[in-house]
């Protein structure tokens, strides 16, 4: 993303982090303004040209439009909940 969830530096990054924060999920972020190498190289690696990018367990989910649409569709919460279940093995 550009900036941080507390201080986003772009409307798209603000929107996607607000969705995730409002849902109460914890997430890590990388500020690509502070990390120009990542800003330069991640689009090729991801095959996705822009920021923000939501990644879950090593998979690119999409940018602001896709995540917003998935949120409206009700697809986002189950996707993240299932990812958390598979990432944290049962005791
Ligand atoms: N439609 C895009 C909006 C994001 C976007 O257009 N990002 C641009 C402007 S912030 C971007 O990352 N450009 C490349 C760059 O700034 O490195 C989405 O759904 O995420
Ligand atoms: S920084 Fe200008 S549109 Fe994101």
Q: Which regions in the chain score pLDDT beneath 70?
A: 88-91
pTM of the model: 0.94
- Predicted pLDDT at 86: 83
Residue 8, domain extent? 3-87
The domain that holds 21 is classified in CATH as: 3.40.30.10
pLDDT at 68: 98
Asked if the interface predicted TM-score (ipTM) of this complex is over 0.90, the answer is yes
How many Cα atoms sit within 13 Å of 29 on the Cβ side?
24
What's residue 87's pLDDT? 73
Q: Are 1 and 51 in contact (CB under 8 A)?
A: yes
Q: What is the pLDDT of residue 9?
A: 98
Cis check for the bond before 52: say yes or no (omega within 30 of 0): yes
Residues 6+ apart with CB under 8 A from 8: 1, 2, 14, 17
Residue 71 CB less than 6 A away from ligand 1: no
pLDDT value, residue 83: 92
Distance 8 CA to ligand 2 centre (A): 10
Domain count, the chain: 1
SS3 content of the chain, % helix, strand, coil (to 5): 50, 10, 40
Residue with the smallest CA separation from ligand 1 atom 5 is: 50
- Whether ligand 1 lies within 6 angstroms of the CB of 64 is answered as yes
């Amino acid at each position: 993303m550009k900036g941080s969830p507390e201080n986003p530096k772009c409307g798209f990054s603000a929107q996607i982090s607000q969705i995730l924060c409002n849902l109460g999920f914890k997430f890590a972020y990388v500020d690509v303004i502070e990390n120009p190498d990542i800003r330069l190289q991640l689009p090729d690696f991801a095959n996705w040209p822009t920021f923000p990018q939501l990644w879950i367990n090593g998979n690119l989910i999409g940018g602001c439009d896709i995540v917003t649409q998935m949120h409206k569709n009700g697809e986002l919460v189950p996707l993240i909940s299932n990812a958390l279940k598979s990432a944290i093995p049962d005791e």
